[in-house]
Amino acid sequence: ILAFSRRLLPERSSLSGMAHPERKAAFVTEIVVPEGSPLVGRTVSEVFSDTDLTILELVRGEEIILPASAGELALLIDDALIIEGRPQEIDSFLTKSQADLASVVEDDTRVPMKTIEMKLAEAVVLPDSPFEGRTVSGLRLNAHYGVKVMAVQRHGRQHLYHIRRMRVHAGDVLLIQADDAGLNELRESEAVLVVEEVDQTRVNKRKAPLVVLTLIGVVAAAALTSGMAGVPSLAHLAIIGVALVLVTRCIRVDEALRSLDTTVLLLLAAAIPLAGAIQQTGLDEKAVSGILALVGGGDINPYVLLSAFYLLTSVLTTFLSNSAVAVLLFPIAMKLAMATGINHESLLVAICFGASASFASPLGYQTNLIVMGPGGYTFRDYLKIGLPLNFLMWAAATVFIPVFWPLKGAA
């Protein structure tokens, strides 16, 4: 990645290349010069000479003036400036210039922005978010959280106008304005990931050592008691650890419940009846026969079989979610282990790594999709840098999985 990412993943300018080519995750918004602002009477070039903001347009009445012609013009009251910059830069400029942000989307209407009491933040729409497919106005962010939407960024391009009717999708980035309480409530909804704020999120660092000690204790107890009879299992030890952090108030019960990923829980629950259905219908036997026929029969070298199974998992994860692939291949891996005498743990670990280390498409893993919007990446970018990484992981898994999970262990 360090050697080739700069060549394979070039920086892309946004808004048709008008912005600075090295600017990352910039947003476009509109400010209005009010009466009494220190900007009145100053030229555009003078105002922006000592900032990192980029002016895209000066709107004076019904006239739109491009930067090349606006540089020496003196700013007047009610002039509108279309600017690009990072949230911190926009907020700092507004504070110093006493200018007003033109308007934001407050559910169904546009309203004047408030910047003294409010903060700017970026929020990425997460996969499986309840916001998926809904319009910006239909989200009712102001009604529920007191959050106003300033702009939307999709695939590295900003959208300022007509955003009320835009339908948001996973990976979209919202530039929002809210107070501390609103940002916290929106973050706790787990519909978006707040990736950048003007002020850092407050965390309870005082409890951090206790959480670390609890985690180390659970892992150490599981390692020391592994294989012993009459001792708590790893699941029981994990439950004890959760109880400790709840009793010591490192986390509240409602926070713990919100942290549970219902999608993953449902997939895990569905794995049991799905495995039964695959076995009852004989699909596992057909899949095993197909895999063995593809790699050369039951007498094939177990290293080749493991490598082929990892490759199958990685390819499927390129088109399906990693959780779905893991659920689908689990019963097939168990049947394949029984048919060949290979240690089932080796195949299950191959599923874990193959389904979690797929970088060739945004669908391969949730984080792949999350970074697509802020990074301005395309499907082609994932292929250029992700496909070589997939092959690298394939080779590494083929070599190292048998080292830690021997292929001829207890099946």
Structure-derived torsion over alpha carbons of residues 157, 160, 164, 167, reported in degrees to the nearest 10: 0
How far apart CA 261 and CA 373 sit, in angstroms, is 22
d(CA 306, CA 310): 6
**Dihedral pair phi/psi, residue 175, rounded to 5°:** -90, 115
Per-chain mean pLDDT for the chain: 77
Comparing 1-102 with 120-203, is the CATH topology the same?
A: yes
pLDDT given at position 18:
38
Burial (CB < 10 A; 0-12, 13-18, 19+), residue 309, is: buried
Give the per-residue pLDDT at 401.
92
The larger pLDDT score, comparing residue 243 to residue 106, is at 243
State pLDDT tens for residues 120-129. 678 888 877 8
What is the percent of the chain with per-residue pLDDT over 90, rounded to a whole number?
6
With 50 as the cut, is the pLDDT of residue 266 above it? yes
Report how far Cα 136 is from the mean position of its chain's Cα atoms.
19
pLDDT reading at 22 higher than 50? no
Q: Are 351 and 308 in contact (CB under 8 A)?
A: no
Q: What is the pLDDT of residue 163?
A: 67
Residue bearing the bigger pLDDT, 244 or 320: 244
Cα 82 → chain centroid: 29
Q: Which residue has the higher pLDDT, 138 or 374?
A: 138
CATH class of 1-102: alpha beta
Identify the residue with better confidence: 333 or 100.
333
Give the pLDDT confidence score for residue 35 in this predicted structure: 86
**Per-residue pLDDT reduced to its tens digit, 342-396:** 888 899 999 989 888 888 887 767 777 777 766 667 777 788 888 888 899 999 9
Q: Is the pLDDT of residue 27 over 60?
A: yes
Q: What pLDDT does residue 397 have? A: 92
When pLDDT is cut at 50, 70 and 90, the band that residue 398 belongs to is very high
pLDDT at site 159: 59
Q: Residue 21: which residues within 8 A CB-CB, separation 6 or more?
A: 11, 13
Q: Tell me whether strands 100-101 and 104-106 are parallel, antiparallel or unpaired.
A: unpaired
| Rounded-to-integer distance, Cα 16 and Cα 365, Å | 29
The most confident of the ranges 297-306, 370-379, 400-409 is 400-409
Compute the distance between CA of residue 361 and CA of residue 368 in angstroms, rounded to an integer: 7
Per-residue burial over 380-405, b if 16 or more Cβ lie within 10 Å, else e, is ebbbbbbeeebeebbeebbeebbeeb
- In the chain, where the domains are located: 1-102, 120-203, 205-249, 262-404
Q: What is the pLDDT of residue 282?
A: 77
**If you average pLDDT over residues 43-58, what whole number do you get?**
84
Residue 353: which residues within 8 A CB-CB, separation 6 or more? 310, 393, 397, 401
pLDDT (0 to 100) of residue 396? 93
For 98-121, what is each residue's pLDDT tens digit? 877 665 545 555 455 544 345 667
| Of the candidates 309, 319, 311, the residue with the CA atom closest to the CA atom of residue 364 | 319
pLDDT over 70 (residue 311): yes
Instruction: Convert the pLDDT of each residue in 189-216 to its tens digit.
Output: 878 887 655 444 445 677 888 999 999 9
* Low-confidence winner among 80-89, 165-174, 353-362 (lowest mean pLDDT): 80-89
Q: For 213-236, how does the pLDDT look when each residue is reduced to its tens digit (9 = 90+)?
A: 999 999 888 888 876 777 888 788
CATH of domain 120-203: 3.30.70.1450
Residue 156 has pLDDT above 70, yes or no: no
* Apex 161 CA angle, 368 and 196, nearest 5: 40
